[in-house]
Structure formats: structure tokens, C-alpha cells
A and B are shown apart, each in its own frame.
Chain A
Amino acid sequence: MTVIAVVLVFGFFTYNAQVNMESRGIDFGYGFLSQESSFDVQFSLIEYDGSHSYFRAYLVGLLNTILVSVIGIILATILGVIVGIARLSPNYLINKFAAFYVEFFRNIPLLLQIFFWYFAALRALPLPQDADAMFGIAFLTIKGLYVPAFIWQNFNIFFYSILAAIIAIIVIRIQAKKLQETQGKQTPVLLISIGLILILPLLSFLIGGVRLSFEVPVLKQLATTSFIYEGGVSLPPELIALALSLSLYTATFIAECVRAGIQGVGKGQKEAAASIGLTPNQVLKLVVMPQALRIIIPPTTNQYLNLTKNSSLAAAIAYPDLVLVFAGTALMQTGKAIEIVSITMFTYLSLSISISLLMNWYNKKIAITEK
């Protein structure tokens, strides 16, 4: 019965879709992806203009979505962990301040926050010609944030040196752990790691011929009243508003996850750790955090997924993300509603699934290994 019902419903929809598309003169197919797109995107990580294909436009949108999600996730995690720990502070003022932050930002719709930052707060920034330099190199203006660009010579050597340092650190950590488990000796892993990650790249500057110079943005006059910064890297205000509001909003949820996780570790664990003579820092690092992480990670993964999905609100302030570029402009131009909406949804589905797979793997790694 159920099978028949499902098949009937799908058959009905497909039939209607065919009739409708025939009557409107649209044919079904993904061939349009290789056609010339002939529209421009304001901000893209890869080279793009109107002569590129629709598929390239799709990539631009996807990369922009990933960029804002990654920035948002990093900022939200940092802020969320700090606020979550602050909510457990014995200090009354810090505690209440963190609680106020959480209650305030959590109960206001994200879209409203994005609008607020973009249309109200960032519009109060100075014009390019009036902007004061931050630290003498970066400029925060109404047209975006301008930061110096790095210009590398022999960048690959520098990159390899960092890679080598990371590999060396991993090897040393494994060795140190083995040493501690077999002989009970402790090695100052943190000091060695910091030393390695500083010294190896430094060596690459001294010996490897790596040179680094900065290209500081310079004010340039286009017309009598129109100014622009040239050189350096410019981050559009849409990106700043979006990343800011996404991280401020999601951080409240992450803070609650962190708080619940730390509170979920039994009081006995802390007292037992303290009674065998661990310092408060050691208690936090060696006893509380490893157990709390197990509680924190699954809901935090959900929040990361939510942030990625919420980044689609970018369409509301014209940040060229996947929804705006592909499901907006490209859809308007080609009229291929079914194909484009299905590709967009499929992309988000696979993004969500890949993040959740990654976090599941990490979760499994730190889960209790029963011996």
C-alpha cells in the first residue's frame, strides 16, 4: 500500500513537471552549467568574470559560503568557549555578564542581527578618505576592511618548513606519550612544539631565501569625492557583517554546550583529582576537559552545521554566497528552477554530511575506549 502511494505521488509530480516545462518551453538538463554565465560577482576567491561558465559561478558561490562558514566557526568557537567558561566563573560579575550576553543574542533572530550590523552598525564607519589607520597598516571603512597583503618569495620553502615542523611535533608527541606510558617520564612537549614551530620557519628565512614583504593599502582618488584603497586585501562589509553576526549568534549556543559539558563532569571527578595532588590547571586539563569534550562535541557539531546552513542568509545582504550567486542570479538568467534548486540543496546536504562525518570521526576518537 505505502509503496503504491509513494509511487503514485511521485508519478503525479513528475507528470505535472513535464507538462509544465513543456508548456513553458524549458527543457530539463544540466548542460547549462558549461555555458557562458555573463554576469559578474563582486567578491570571489578565484578568478571570475562574466565570460566564465555557470559551473565556475557555482564554484565561486560555494567557496564564498565555505569561507564565511570557516571564519564564523573559528570565531564562534573561540567566543563560545570563553563565554561558556565565564558562565561557570565564581566571579558574580563575569558570570552575569556572560549570562546577559547569551540571553541577549540568543533571543534575537539572526536575520535581524545581520541587518543590524550591515545596515546600521557598519554604515556608521568612516568613508575611505576619513578612515584612521589601525596600527598604521589596516583601514576599516564603510567600503570594507583593508589589510596589507603578504608578498612572498620562495613561499613553497616556507610552507614546507611549517609542514615539517608540524610533522615533527606529531612524531614527538607520539614518542612522548609512549615514553610516559612505558617509563613514566614526562617530556616538556609544549615547549618543544612551540620551539619547533618558531625555529623551523625562522630558519627558512635565514637559509632558505624566503622573503616576506607587505603591500599596504594606499588611498587613491578616483574622482573629486570618490576615494578607494588600492593594494592589499580588501574584505567587503557584507563578509564582515555576516561573519560577525553568525559568530556572535552561534557563540551563544556553543557557550551553552560548553557550560553543560563542564557541568556534566561529576563533582567527584574534580575532587578525586584534587585529592591526588593535581593543581587546578592540571585538573582542568587532564581530568575535566577530556570528559567534558565528550559531552560538548555532539551538540557543538550541530551548531557548526547550523552556522553553515545559516550562512545562506547572506542572500539578504547581497554577500555573493551559493544561494545568491547560483539560486539567485543564475536561476533568474536560465530559468532552470528544478536543476538549480536541486543542485543547491544537494550541495548543502553534502556540506552538512561531510561536517557531521568529520565531527563523528573526531568524536569517536575521543570517546571512552573501554579496555
Chain B
Amino acid sequence: MSKINFLKPDKSNLYTFLYLGSFLFFISILDVLLNSFFSLNITGFLPSFLSFLLPLILGFVGLYFIRIELSGIKQLDLLNKNINTNNFNAILSLLIIFIILKSIPPILSWFFIDASFAGNSKDVCTGSGACWTYIKVWMRRFMYGMYPNGEQWRINLSFIALALLGSVGYFATDKFKKYLTLYYVVIYPFIAFLFIFFFISGGPVFFDFSYGIIAAILSIIIGFFIPSKFKFYYFLIVPLGLYILLKYFIFYEELIELGKLDGLNWVETGAWGGLSLTFIISFFCLIFCFPIGMAFALGRRSGFPLVRYISIGFIEFWRGVPLITVLFMSAVMFPMFLPADFFIDKLVRCIIAISLFEAAYVAEVIRGGLQALPRGQYEAAKSLGMGYWRMHIFVILPQALKLVIPGIANTFLALVKDTPLIFVVGLLEIVGMLNLAKTNPEWLGFAMEGYVFAAIIFWIICYAMSKYSYNLEEKYKTDR
């Protein structure tokens, strides 16, 4: 055994240093552990200042001793490489370990040990921990807002049905795969709208738009049998004629009264709220903002100066103002620009405002993808004789969108995180409901529990979305 130099640990006295260092390190961890979990202070006899710093000093010396390069012990080398490369890193590692050890007991006791779960009133919340009873009692409000308790099955039913319809893509056979885009872009949103309108809102079967919808569907079906020569005139005249025919001759007012569905009460949008409203708004904004954004991204690269300037103006305007002022605009300024008897629902105005706002961001993301494509792709498509739309739909957009999946996912995440802002126009989704519940005189003082609860829910949603976007990115990654 050679001479030991304590300032310079080396390999010749490996085990001496190893045992000594591990012992010191272990002692320092043990001290903090006992202190935080059992509130025992084994170094209490020392002056308070020294007792506070002792674990750090001991741990640092211990880590210094075991920092021996190429010791030949696998675990030791791994440890040194990962948390103990130099003095600075050793101190940081120790601090982080101590912070984690120190923060586990209070968090644990607040969340579980001292928390109260049982009961239905405030009286059970006497402990120092969280009062989850509060969440339990208010759960329906947080999930469904002011939606009547007896009618909430309608929301559940709609969401389950929509989730099932949305998962169709996973079970589609190859034969139907090519229709999936059409399904998700046109049919699915339409079904979703019908569900929301008829089930959640409980609207009448025949409302003003339904004539238009029926007329449009009928005229498209008939349109298949019209020779292409007359198609332009056909679509100019027939839908309007059908609309008038339907409205004034076939389904006139008395028939509508008969057609109303019994049993579903009308629930106005002001009563919607909670997490379900977050889902509804995010869903429709996601669906609307994507095509609008795509149109403006193409418009910004268009050859017509007017289209280009309008697109630039649109994009830069929405990107330059905060969402909260946009919602303000939709609430107080927008109605001024419409005829006095023309009323658009608050929720619809919100959805339009958020969609336009996010569309500007989507447009910029997609423009990035379009610019990243090499010019050869455009030229190759053109040389095959493709027109503008054909080229974009079959060659350019599939490649460009693949490139910008992360950017689009980020924009969608931002959209979901922006939904609480609708409190500006008086709609209360989950965060708004929390603020309402917080001011209830019977349940004062539980703000923390509410916010933690909402934070966990949002965190799960957003984290799942970002992980899903990683998957998509991997799935569509192609070597170029």
C-alpha cells in the first residue's frame, strides 16, 4: 500500500478512498433523510449554521474522494461520469439530491397523508393537508359547468360517441383508407357539430340552417348526374331554388313544430362550462384553424399581389395582437359591425375568434414547411403537367405538412392552453369554474386544491398531445 495523499485520490489506494468517500456520502444523505422524514437532527449539538451546512460539506468531501477516473469498477465509473465529473457538478448534484429529499415529505403529506378524501362537507377538512373533498363535491361543476345535473348524460353520450367515431381510423381496412382524409376533414366535424347541436344544446330539429344543409346535400347528390358542361350554371341556381322550395313549400312552419324532438330541453351555451367546454372549444378551433391557416399560407406565397398582401396583412395582424384583445373585440366590437337583428351566439363568436387567431400561427408554420421544400419538387410537378391545385394537393402539401408536424403540434398545444381565456366573454371553462367555486362563501380557502387539480388535468392533456405528436413525427418520417 503506497502513501495516502488525501488531497489527491488516486487509483493505488482505491478501496481506502472508496470506503471513506462512500461512508461520508452515505452519512450526509442519511442526515438529510432523517431530518426531512422524521424531523430528527442528528447534528443538533453543533452550532445551527454548521449543522445546516454539514451534510453538504460531508457529501462534497465524500464525492471528492470517490472521484477516481478509470477505477475499473463499473458502477463507480458510471456514477462519476453521470453526477460527479468535477467539483461544481458534485455540489450541484448534492444540492438537487437534498432538495428532492427535503421536498418529498411535505408534498406527500399534503397530497395524501394529511389530506381528507371522505365526507361531503367542509367539516371533514381539518387536517393540514389538501381538502380533496372540495374537488369531490364540486366535480360536476368542474366537468360540466352550470349544465343541469339531470341532463349531463347528454354530454357524456356525445363525447363517447364522438370518441368512438374518431377512432374509426384505427380500424379502417386498406380499402377504406383513402377515404379517411375526407372523413376526418368533412364528415366527422359535421357529425360532431350535429351531436353538439342536437344533444348537448338540444336544438330544434329544423332550424334556419338545416334547410341550407339539406339543400346543399341534395344538390351535390343530384350534381353527380349533371353533365359537366352545365355544372357551373347548375350550382349557381339549383341550391338556392332547393332552399326556397324547402323553406316555403315542403317543410313550412307547422311541420317544424311537429318535428321537434321531445324530451331534450334546450340548454343555452351560457350554462355550458367546465372541462367539457374546454374540449368542445379546442375541438372546433382545431378543426377550423387548420384549413384557414393552410389557405393563408398558400395565399402568402401566391403569385397574385392582392391575395399575397391580404394574406400578409391577415397573418401579421393576428400575430401582433394578444388573444385577450381579440376576444374583447369579438365580445364588444364585433356586434357593432353586424345588423342589429342578427345575433351570433357567444360561444360561436369565441370559436371564430380563436380559430382565426390560431390560423395565423398555423399559416406561418405551414409556410415554413412550404419554404423548406426544394424548388425541384415544384418544377417536377409542373413539368408533369399538374396545375396549381393538383400540384399542391398531391405533391407539395403532403411533404410540407410532414415537415411541420412538430410546429403544428405546438400551435395546437398553445390553442388548448389558451382556452381558459374565454373568461373574458363570460364563458367559464374549468379554470373559470375554479374561480367561481373559490368565491363560494361555504368553500373559502381551497384555491390551492382547485388549481392543483386543474393543473394536473391540463398537464396530462398537453403532455399526451406532445407525446402523440412525437409519435406522428416518427411515423411519417421519410428519408429525403
Mask: chain B, 403-439; 1 = CB below 8 Å from A; 0 = not: 0000000000100111111011000000100110010
B236: CB under 8 A from chain A?
no
Shortest Cβ distance from B28 into chain A, in angstroms? Answer: 15
A327 CB within 8 Å of chain B: yes
Asked if B35 CB lies within 8 Å of chain A CBs, one says: no
Q: Does B337 contact A (CB under 8 A)?
A: yes
- Among A91, A313, A337, point to the contact of B89 (Cβ < 8 A): A91
Which one of B96, B340, B455 contacts A112 once the chains associate, using CB atoms below 8 Å? B455
Selected contact of A116 from candidates B335, B421, B423, B451, CB within 8 Å: B451
B431, A109: Cβ atoms closer than 8 Å: yes
Interface residues of B in 294-342 (CB under 8 A from A): 304, 306-307, 310, 317, 319-325, 328-329, 332-333, 335-340
Q: How far is the CB of A196 from chain B (nearest CB, A)?
A: 30
Min Cβ gap B416→A in Å is 8
Does A93 contact B96, Cβ atoms closer than 8 Å? yes
- B-side contacts of A344, CB under 8 Å: 325, 328
What is the minimal beta-carbon distance from B431 to any residue of chain A, in angstroms?
A: 5
Label chain A's interface by main secondary structure: helix
Q: Which of the 9-residue segments A14-22, A153-161, A217-225, A285-293 touches chain B?
A: A14-22
| In contact, A110 and B320 (Cβ under 8 angstroms) | no
Chain A residues, CB < 8 A from B337: 13-14, 16-17, 20
A275 contacts chain B at the CB level, 8 A cutoff: no
**Residues of B contacting A345 with CB < 8 Å?**
321, 325, 329
**Nearest CB in chain A: distance from B449 CB, A:** 9
Determine whether the beta carbon of A20 is less than 8 Å from that of B458.
no
| Interface residue? B267 (CB, 8 A) | no
**CB atoms of A89 and B89 under 8 A apart:** yes
Which of A109, A111, A115, A341 is in CB contact (< 8 Å) with B328?
A: A341
- Is B466 located at the chain interface by the 8 A CB criterion? yes
Bound-state CA distance A316–B431 (Å) is 11
Q: Determine whether A44 belongs to the interface, using a CB cutoff of 8 Å to chain B.
A: no
Q: Which of B322, B332, B459 gathers the greatest number of chain A CB atoms within 10 Å?
A: B322
Q: B292 at interface (Cβ–Cβ under 8 A)?
A: no
Q: Are B321 and A115 in contact (CB under 8 A)?
A: no
Selected from B306, B336, B416, B448, the residue in CB contact (under 8 A) with A17 is: B336
Per the bound structure, the CA–CA distance linking A327 and B331 in Å amounts to 12
Asked if A315 lies at the interface with its beta carbon under 8 angstroms from chain B, I say: yes
Point out the residue from A20, A91, A93 that lies within 8 Å of B340, measured CB to CB: A20
- Are B333 and A93 within 8 A (Cβ)? no
Residue of B nearest to A86 (CB): B92
Q: Is B451 within 8 A of A16, CB to CB?
A: no
Q: Does B82 sit at the interface, judged by CB under 8 A?
A: yes
**Is B321 a contact partner of A90 (Cβ separation < 8 A)?**
no
Partner of B423, one of A104, A113, A316, A352: A316
CA distance A18 to B369 in the complex (A): 43
A309 on the interface (CB 8 Å rule)?
A: yes
| Min CB–CB distance A5 → chain B (angstroms) | 10
User: Looking at the complex, which one of A97, A115, A309, A353 makes contact with B431 (CB distance below 8 Å)?
Assistant: A115
Which residues from 300 to 347 on chain A have a C-beta closer than 8 Å to any C-beta of chain B?
309-310, 312-313, 315-316, 323, 327, 331, 337-338, 341-342, 344-345
Is B118 interfacial (CB 8 A cutoff)?
A: no
Q: Count the A residues whose beta carbon is within 8 Å of the partner chain — how many?
A: 53
Closest to A121 in B: B448
Please name all residues of chain A whose beta carbon is closer than 8 Å to the beta carbon of B76 when the two chains form the complex: none
Q: B420's closest neighbor in chain A, by CB?
A: A111
Task: Tell me the smallest distance from the CB of A276 to a CB of chain B, in Å.
Answer: 23
Give the residues from 78 to 93 in chain B that come closer than 8 angstroms, CB to CB, to chain A.
81-83, 85, 89, 92-93
Residues on B with beta carbons closer than 8 Å to the beta carbon of A110: 417
Query: Is B92 in contact with A23, judged by CB distance below 8 angstroms?
Result: no
Q: Is B463 an interface residue (CB 8 A)?
A: yes
Check if B447 is an interface residue, CB within 8 A of chain A: yes
Q: Kindly state the separation between the CA atoms of A2 and B309 in the bound complex, as whole angstroms.
A: 12
Q: How far is the CA of A323 from the CA of B329 in the complex (A)?
A: 12
Within the assembled complex, what's the spacing in Å between the Cα atoms of A128 and B418?
Answer: 35
Judging by beta carbons under 8 Å apart, are B89 and A120 in contact? Answer: no
Do B321 and A349 touch across chains, with their CB atoms under 8 A apart? yes
Write the A71-107 contact mask toward B (1 if CB under 8 angstroms, else 0).
0000000000000000001111110010000011011
Decide: A107 and B332 in contact? CB cutoff 8 A.
no
Q: Is B238 an interface residue (CB 8 A)?
A: no
Q: Are A90 and B81 in contact (CB under 8 A)?
A: yes
B462 within 8 A of A: yes
Contact A16 B339 (CB under 8 A): yes
Interface residue A134 (Cβ < 8 Å from any Cβ of B)? no
Residues of B within 8 Å of A107, CB to CB, are: 413, 417, 458-459, 462-463, 466
Which residues from chain B contact A349 at a C-beta distance below 8 Å? 317, 320-321
Partner of A109, one of B324, B339, B458: B458
A111 → B minimal CB distance (Å): 4
Contact of A338 among B336, B438, B454, B455 (CB under 8 A): B336
Q: How far does the alpha carbon of A279 sit from the alpha carbon of B413 in the complex, in Å?
A: 42
Residues on the B chain within 8 Å of A45, using CB: none
Distance in angstroms between the alpha carbons of A120 and B142 in the assembled complex: 18
Instruction: Determine whether the beta carbon of A313 is less than 8 Å from that of B324.
Output: yes
Q: Provide the bound-state CA to CA distance between A4 and B306, in Å.
A: 12
Give the top 7 A-B pairs by smallest Cβ distance, nearest first. A107-B462, A309-B322, A92-B82, A312-B322, A349-B320, A109-B417, A120-B448
Question: Can you give 18 A-B contacts (C-beta < 8 A)?
Answer: A16-B338, A17-B336, A94-B93, A107-B413, A108-B417, A108-B455, A109-B417, A109-B419, A112-B420, A112-B458, A116-B452, A119-B451, A323-B324, A327-B325, A327-B328, A341-B325, A348-B321, A348-B322
* B residues at A contact (CB < 8 Å): 81-83, 85, 89, 92-93, 96-97, 304, 306-307, 310, 317, 319-325, 328-329, 332-333, 335-340, 413, 416-421, 423-424, 431, 434-435, 438, 447-448, 451-452, 454-455, 458-459, 462-463, 466
List 9 other contacts, CB 8 Å, given A14-B337, A112-B455. Answer: A92-B82, A93-B82, A107-B413, A109-B417, A111-B421, A119-B451, A121-B448, A309-B321, A337-B332
